[in-house]
Amino acid sequence: VGGRMRPVTPAELSTHNTTNDAWLAIRGRVYNITHYLPYHPGGPEELMRGAGMDATQLFDKVHPWVNYDSLLAKCLVGPLRFDLPDAE
């Protein structure tokens, strides 16, 4: 609860693209969706289509009304940042 936010680069985001370790970004916020996968009403396969990337357009195409930020509050990793070096 609170804290431990850290910026994520697109390169790091792209490495989290398996069902055991899945992150996605929506509107500049990166979420770890690994534990939400089994609960996604559209099924884990559908949700995995957005893994490892900025899934904003995909998300909005399917269900722009869904309150992802509240559903994934505890899964928030941090902001997606394009202006940081990719190396540690």
Report the residue from 40, 44, 76, 81 that binds ligand HEM according to the rule CB under 6 A.
40
Kindly tell me which of 12 and 23 has the beta carbon lying closer to ligand HEM: 23
Exactly one of 44, 66, 76, 81 binds ligand HEM (CB under 6 A); which one?
66
Tokens of 39: 């609960």
List, in order, residues 6 or more apart from 75 with CB less than 8 Å away. Answer: 31, 32, 33, 35, 36
HEC letters along 27-77: CCEEEECCCCHHHCCCCHHHHHCCCCCECHHHHHHHCCCCCHHHHCHHHEE
Q: Residue 47, interface with ligand HEM (CB under 6 A)?
A: yes
60 near ligand HEM, judged by CB under 6 A? no
Contact between 17 and ligand HEM per CB under 6 A: no
Is residue 38 involved in binding ligand HEM (CB under 6 A)? no
CB of 72 to ligand HEM, least distance (A): 5
